[in-house]
Structure 1
């Protein structure tokens, strides 16, 4: 077994602080834009707002409240966030909350696609999903994160059980583990493998569903363009572009956790360093998402350009007055 690095990864902790602050600022701007400057999106902006708030929740939990540090190749880790330093909560609680908010974030993006798809489907009177199926899917959005968290929690060992387990499988690290004030260990068992497999399959199915929604919505938009006014079409098109941008950034950034699952299963060399890099990758999701929207989502660059122009005018006027 590869030796575990028990030294504090200061670069990762500093990155958590940095990216957490940057993401909070960018998400706050995004929330302000959605609430007060995106009326052209209609009621759909509230679904985008739901996703934006889920991003904020994930960022706060991952980069501030928990700050997870892996202790691989054991399926273990410890935390540095305020849930431990201020409240003394166990590391397993941090792992469970991360699983919960990550699931909520993915589900909120799925809801955005579903609502946009059904909004267009109703206008075209085609591909409408029966209401009982929608209600079932939305109920699953509440049930599945809870089931996953209960499952994750059931696989963790108590501190006493973890130390006994470590003494058996990694005796040279027993002293270092015993000195850690807060850590969690999960036993690699068929149940753990089943959970990892379930998460991997669920992620793949979610990606497939979102891809199908995108394809179908884009196809329906071509028909919708011929039936509605140009202004209404632009409203739907901009909303669709927003969720597609966020889908692309989600796929890129959530690829990190999927790779982490593979790292855990196959125990590749330098897996602790690789997992730290993947943690940093995942923590960057909201910032990458917002920067992409500021660049590629037409309403946001217009809002920013208008604000900069207004600021330039306000600065120029006092200077001109001083000249007179």
Structure 2
């Protein structure tokens, strides 16, 4: 089979990775500071939110600074350009597994934020209060699904010799180019990868179902509590729920690009390699966008930023005058 694959490193993508990682570190560090020191007394919900923010930061730093993935579509293969390989000699597959662990934790953390907020609101109504056992069960479920998914991904990898034999048989015109790569990873369409894709689908459905259930219950409880709880207290809970939903809507930035790449791969799109690079660039923006949304949708954080900006602007005007 003769196909065209570019083995030249897209340095525009590498530079984009560097830029977005620096931006992500700055914004997510600010977000972590806000959650830790500007959240006031919102019980331990802020620690779930902190877990999610740290996962956001680690995901961007690991995936787009330490790893820097370069796909070689339409072949189901790729290599990494970052320090994980160039400095620490950690291979493409292991680096991808590490990234997947953090990505899975990111999804689990966001899910648990909804669960914990639902529990906090349920405590306002004695008849619908959710116990800690329910919280622990959901946490165990999410961690089990992430663990199963990552384990399947780990075993989906094949060694270099097997990969080169496969390329020799199926893409002989590209064998030389693959041999020139110090490290790469090829994935085959087999039983393990099928289970991996199925596990990813199940994990997505379960996490989404938990979030939808918690959100519906939270809005229902808040409606019932309108005449029983002070307007200020009720507004704080509504704002927190709205912020979580806004952050949830940024998730497609991280998860849709890989799905879109798989869809285009099945359609045998001619320019899929370049498109996959663009989609990866979009994915790298997720952590930055998510944290920005969190800051903008949380009144205390938004007010803090606004006051700092107004203060800085006022000082500059005073200096100029």
- The residue correspondences of 1:1-324 to structure 2 (distance < 5 A) are 2-39=3-40, 41-129=42-130, 131-315=132-316
- 1:312 Cα offset (Å): 4.0
Distance 1:150 1:228 in 2: 46
Distance 1:133 1:288 in 2: 31
The TM-score, its normalising length taken from structure 1, stands at 0.90
SS in 2 for 1:77: strand
SS in 2 for 1:3: coil
Deviations 1:101-135 (A, max 9, x none): 11000000000000001111222235555654432
Contact map agreement 2:80 2:92 (CA 8 A) in 1: yes
Contact map agreement 2:146 2:203 (CA 8 A) in 1: no
Contact map agreement 2:253 2:283 (CA 8 A) in 1: no
- 1:234 Cα offset (Å): 2.4
Distance 2:226 2:42 in 1: 16
Contact map agreement 1:196 1:261 (CA 8 A) in 2: no
SS in 2 for 1:69: strand
SS in 2 for 1:249: coil
- 1:164 Cα offset (Å): 0.9
- 1:92 Cα offset (Å): 0.6
Distance 2:34 2:283 in 1: 24
Q: Runs of 5+ in structure 2 lacking a partner?
A: none
Q: Runs of 5+ in structure 1 lacking a partner?
A: none
Aligned length: 320
Contact map agreement 1:44 1:239 (CA 8 A) in 2: no
Quickly say closer, same or farther: Cα 1:319–1:278, change in 2 above 3 A.
closer
Contact map agreement 1:41 1:239 (CA 8 A) in 2: no
- 1:77 Cα offset (Å): 0.6
Contact map agreement 2:152 2:192 (CA 8 A) in 1: no
- 1:140 Cα offset (Å): 3.0
- 1:310 Cα offset (Å): 2.8
Contact map agreement 2:104 2:146 (CA 8 A) in 1: yes
